[in-house]
Structure 1
Amino acid sequence: MKGECLCGKVKFEIEGELPNLYQCHCSMCRKATGSSANAATFVKESNFHWISGQSKISTFQKPTGYRSDFCSVCGSSVPNMLRGTDFIWIPAGLLNGVVTSQISVHLHMTSSASWESESDNCIRLDAGPDSLESLNQALQRTSR
């Protein structure tokens, strides 16, 4: 399976079967993604190969050890070594093609965003909205 960042500068390949995915709901993953959770998996280093763009990767690391590698061109999170292991962390959103893996673990649910839980009355669209105005109207209707 191949993957790449948003701009396509950083590319990689994974050999073998892709493991299932997890979602981390901690505050650091929410801040790093701007979303409710970070979807990812990890693979053995021996099954991972960079195709291109390693020189485009920048790293941010907190004193606690939290690390985020990202494409310096588009800002996409990119794979990185899990410290002290022989595993590579893989952001699921970078994977190309059909991914048959499923989310099988949710982490840090006690610190998940208060707005994260699904609502039965959510509007669900198969594609993007017809316009920004129609999306704004839908947001106003569902927030009441």
Structure 2
Amino acid sequence: MNGKCLCSAVEFQLDEPIPSLYQCHCSLCRKLTGSASDTAMLISRDQFRWVRGLDKISSYRTNTGYRSDFCSSCGCTVPHLMSKTLYFWVPAGLIDGELHSQVVAHLYVDSKAPWDTIDETGARFAEMPEMEALTRLLHENSEKIESDLV
């Protein structure tokens, strides 16, 4: 499965199985996306490959450690290796073609915007759950979704 930024300068590949998605409703993710939440996946480092454009990636980090990587040509948010983990954060909207993943978790629901409506699907977390628990939830649910599609 391939993904790329808006101008196609930054491109990457993901190997199957593709994990389920989560939505983060924190104020930083709202600012990053300009919408109610950030929809993304956490994919193992050994399932992720850059195709091109590493030289086009710029980074911004807040004093609290929140990180945003983006294409220096079009400004589009792009994946990055999360610090202290073996996972890449991958925005779901960058994936080309049909993505058969579902949102199975909502993070920071206690700080969502008052106008944000979260549907009934998926686990809800007041804040950020432990990384191990979140990655297990995303990967376990992807296996169930794939078997339902067969």
TM-score, length-normalised on structure 2? 0.77
Distance 2:41 2:16 in 1: 14
- Shift of residue 117, structure 1, vs aligned partner: 2.0
**How does 1:96-135 map onto structure 2 within 5 Å?**
96-117=96-117
Q: Kindly provide the CA deviation profile for residues 23-51 of structure 1, in whole angstroms up to 9, marking residues without a partner as x.
A: 00000000011000000011111110000
Q: Percent identity?
A: 47
Distance 1:81 1:117 in 2: 29
Distance 2:117 2:80 in 1: 29
**How does 1:77-92 map onto structure 2 within 5 Å?**
77-92=77-92
Distance 1:77 1:40 in 2: 11
Q: Give the SS at the match of 1:18.
A: coil
Larger Rg: 1
Alignment partner, residue 22 of structure 1: 22
Alignment partner, residue 49 of structure 1: 49
Q: Kindly provide the CA deviation profile for residues 106-134 of structure 1, in whole angstroms up to 9, marking residues without a partner as x.
A: 0011111111127xxxxxxxxxxxxxxxx
Read off the aligned partner of 2:72 and give its amino acid letter: S
Structure 2 gaps, min length 5: 119-150
- Shift of residue 16, structure 1, vs aligned partner: 1.4
Structure 1 gaps, min length 5: 119-144
Where do 4+ consecutive residues of structure 1 move more than 2 Å?
none
Q: Kindly provide the CA deviation profile for residues 71-119 of structure 1, in whole angstroms up to 9, marking residues without a partner as x.
A: 111111100011011111100000011100000000011111111127x
Distance 1:116 1:86 in 2: 31
Q: Give the SS at the match of 1:55.
A: helix
Q: Kindly provide the CA deviation profile for residues 39-71 of structure 1, in whole angstroms up to 9, marking residues without a partner as x.
A: 001111111000011100000001111000001
Q: Give the SS at the match of 2:88.
A: strand
Read off the aligned partner of 1:45 and give its amino acid letter: R
